């Protein structure tokens, strides 16, 4: 992907911003603050310093927006980039098998209507998408189940089931590298606002909102975790901590659990609204499915 001058400038600005930040020092043996932050967190510097001059990051930075890819360790990024090493491609392959599998009373597979899966190229960039016939927005997951029920007369797949994860990953992977460009007009506006309200609402015993980590402190360390800007362009994502691939809704649930907050069912309107707000917020970032994260 070509790198524009604007992107280069943004990258250079990021480098300066990070290097000029005094940053707290890490705990030493004594109770006295060390005057030198040089060895504060060598793993951070190793992780972020090298790629700061790495043109390969440019496609993952759009203005002030930085994909989680930018905050990932170099070895994690390398794993994502290599289709053999990227564990998420096991779900892509599984999805390919399901694409042509005939199911349901109508005796159809996905391929019966859509032909080869490559026909899905570019489709996922506009999701979640308003579906007038249902009078609601649909995620890729919900659209898949809509097809299964309406066109195939098959049972819908459970959210987070291996099948739904595999098919979602396969379909989104057909748009890998293309910028997210969901419609933000008409009835979608209301859903964006609903998700935004959730994003900024304090909740749980820890009484935090999403913005407290992801707007106020991206790039900073929360224990061993480097906080990201909470972009959704890589989902479903393979998380090393999960030893598996999961949906955005599962990730949202994990955040809520960490805040000791009530969670919602996966696929619920609350998570859909958050997904819509976050998709609008990350507009322009390229789809990375299946991404690999810590």
Partner 1 sequence: MFGKGAALLAVLLVLCSGAARSAEAPLPYQIVGKGVPVPLSGTPGNAENGRALVASRAGGNCLACHAAPIPEESDHGRVGPDLRGVGSRFGAAELRLRVVDPKVLHPDTMMPAFFRAEGLNEVAAPFRGQTILSAQEVEDVVAYLMTLK
**Which of the residues are catalytic?**
255
Q: Is 170 in the site for partner 1 (CB under 8 A)?
A: no
Give the shortest CB-267-to-partner 1 separation in angstroms.
18
Phi–psi pair at 266, nearest 5 degrees: -60, 135
Give the residue carrying structure tokens 């000791």: 260
Determine the Cα–Cα distance for residues 137 and 21; give it in Å rounded to an integer: 42
Determine the Cα–Cα distance for residues 226 and 218; give it in Å rounded to an integer: 7
**Quick one: which segment of 58-66, 157-165, 188-196, 204-212 binds partner 1 (CB under 8 A)?**
204-212
Binding partner 1 by CB under 8 A: which of 213, 273, 274, 292? 213
**Region class of 2: left (phi > 0), else alpha (psi between -120 and 50), else beta:** beta
Q: Is 206 in the site for partner 1 (CB under 8 A)?
A: yes
Phi–psi pair at 179, nearest 5 degrees: -75, 140
Alpha helices by DSSP H, listed for 107-177, are 110-114, 140-150, 162-173
The two beta strands, 136-138 and 129-131, are antiparallel
Determine the Cα–Cα distance for residues 222 and 219; give it in Å rounded to an integer: 9
Site mask, partner 1, residues 251-280, x = CB under 8 A? ------x--xxxx-----------------
Q: Is 65 in the site for partner 1 (CB under 8 A)?
A: no
Site for partner 1 in 13-52 (CB under 8 A): 23-33, 40-41
Burial 95-104 (b: 16+ CB within 10 A, else e): bbebbeeebe
- For residue 88 the two structure tokens come to 């998420």
Give the shortest CB-33-to-partner 1 separation in angstroms.
5
User: To which H or E segment does residue 239 belong?
Assistant: strand 237-239
Give the shortest CB-197-to-partner 1 separation in angstroms.
12
Q: Which is nearer to partner 1, 173 or 228 (CB)?
A: 228
Determine the Cα–Cα distance for residues 148 and 235; give it in Å rounded to an integer: 21
Q: Note whether 97 and 106 are within 8 A (CB).
A: no
Binding partner 1 by CB under 8 A: which of 82, 93, 101, 216? 216
Q: How many chain residues touch partner 1 (CB under 8 A)? A: 36
Q: Which is nearer to partner 1, 120 or 230 (CB)?
A: 230
Binding partner 1 by CB under 8 A: which of 212, 240, 283, 294? 212
- For residue 190 the two structure tokens come to 């209301």
Q: Is 123 in the site for partner 1 (CB under 8 A)?
A: no
Q: Which is nearer to partner 1, 253 or 288 (CB)?
A: 253
Phi–psi pair at 130, nearest 5 degrees: -70, 130
Q: Which is nearer to partner 1, 204 or 244 (CB)?
A: 204
Site mask, partner 1, residues 219-258, x = CB under 8 A? -xxxxx--x-----------------------------x-
Site for partner 1 in 73-112 (CB under 8 A): none
Note the residues at the interface with partner 1 (CB under 8 A): 23-33, 40-41, 201-208, 212-213, 216-217, 220-224, 227, 257, 260-263
């Amino acid at each position: 992907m070509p790198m524009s001058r604007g992107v280069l400038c943004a990258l250079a600005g990021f480098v300066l911003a990070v290097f000029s930040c005094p940053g707290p020092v890490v705990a030493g043996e004594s109770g006295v603050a060390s005057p030198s932050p040089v060895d504060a967190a060598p793993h951070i510097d190793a992780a972020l310093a090298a790629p700061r001059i790495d043109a390969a990051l440019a496609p993952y930075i759009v203005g002030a927006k930085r994909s989680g890819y930018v905050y990932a360790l170099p070895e994690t990024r390398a794993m994502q980039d290599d289709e053999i090493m990227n564990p998420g491609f096991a779900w892509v392959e599984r999805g390919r098998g399901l694409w042509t599998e005939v199911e349901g009373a109508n005796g159809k597979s996905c391929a019966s209507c859509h032909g080869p899966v490559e026909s899905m190229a570019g489709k996922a960039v506009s999701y979640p998408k308003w579906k007038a016939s249902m009078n609601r927005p649909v995620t890729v997951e919900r659209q898949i189940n809509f097809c299964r029920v309406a066109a195939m007369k098959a049972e819908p797949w459970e959210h987070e089931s291996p099948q739904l994860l595999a098919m979602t990953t396969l379909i989104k992977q057909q748009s890998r590298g293309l910028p997210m460009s969901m419609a933000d007009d008409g009835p979608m506006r209301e859903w964006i606002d609903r998700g935004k309200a959730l994003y900024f609402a304090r909740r749980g015993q820890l009484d935090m909102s999403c913005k407290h980590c992801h707007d106020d402190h991206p790039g900073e360390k929360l224990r061993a975790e480097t906080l990201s800007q909470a972009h959704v362009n890589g989902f479903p994502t393979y998380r090393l901590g999960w030893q598996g691939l999961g949906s955005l809704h599962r990730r949202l649930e994990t955040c809520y659990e960490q805040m000791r907050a009530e969670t919602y069912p996966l696929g619920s309107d609350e998570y859909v609204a958050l997904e819509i707000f976050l998709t609008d917020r990350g507009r322009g970032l390229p789809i990375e499915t299946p991404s690999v994260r810590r």
